[in-house]
Structure 1
Amino acid sequence: MLEPSIDALQEKINSKYTLVTLSARRARQMSETNKVLIDNPKSHKYVGMALEEVQADKLFITEE
């Protein structure tokens, strides 16, 4: 089972497409800078860490 779950993440960001795009961009950024916004991430992969940041309200999208 994946953590955080897709249902929990969709409460934060409605669109699966937006969630995937946001986490992929953040994962690429983390691979270049090695800076993570959360302490002690459970995942060892950048995409997993990005999804954990979404769950922790550290990574979000604003609508204009």
Structure 2
Amino acid sequence: MLYPSIDALLERIDSKYSLVSVAAKRARMMQQNKDERLPKYVSHKFVGKALEEIYSGDLTYRVVRKADAPAGNQ
């Protein structure tokens, strides 16, 4: 059984695509920087740890629109 479940994760993030993107980016950051936000994880792999952070509410994301983006990112 997958922990946390996909249904529980989709209550935190609105789409599967966004969920995969956020989890993958966070997993890369954890692997490179050895940065863990939770005191204890169920998973031993970085992607699983990222999903646990999303489920706990410690990891979120926001959509940046072109009008909101800094001048160098357009």
Same fold by TM-score greater than 0.5: yes
**What is the alpha-carbon distance in structure 1 between the residues aligned to residue 36 and residue 21 of structure 2?**
18
% identity of equivalent residues: 47
Corresponding position: 1:46 with 2:46: yes
- Aligned equivalent of 2:31: 31
Deviation string 1:21-58 (CA, Å, 9 cap, x unpaired) is: 00000000000011111111110000000000000100
Question: Relative contact order (C-alpha < 8 Å, sep 6+): which is higher?
Answer: 1
Paired positions, count: 64
| Runs of 4+ with deviation above 3 angstroms | none
- Aligned equivalent of 1:58: 58
Gaps of 5+ in 2: 65-74
C-alpha RMSD of the superposition:
0.8
**What is the alpha-carbon distance in structure 1 between the residues aligned to residue 62 and residue 22 of structure 2?**
11
Identify, as 1 or 2, the structure richer in helix: 1
Corresponding position: 1:21 with 2:21: yes
Give the alignment's TM-score, normalised by structure 1: 0.95
Give the alignment's TM-score, normalised by structure 2: 0.83
Task: Give 1:62 shift.
Answer: 1.9
Matches within 5 A, 1:3-18: 3-18=3-18
Q: Which has the larger radius of gyration?
A: 2
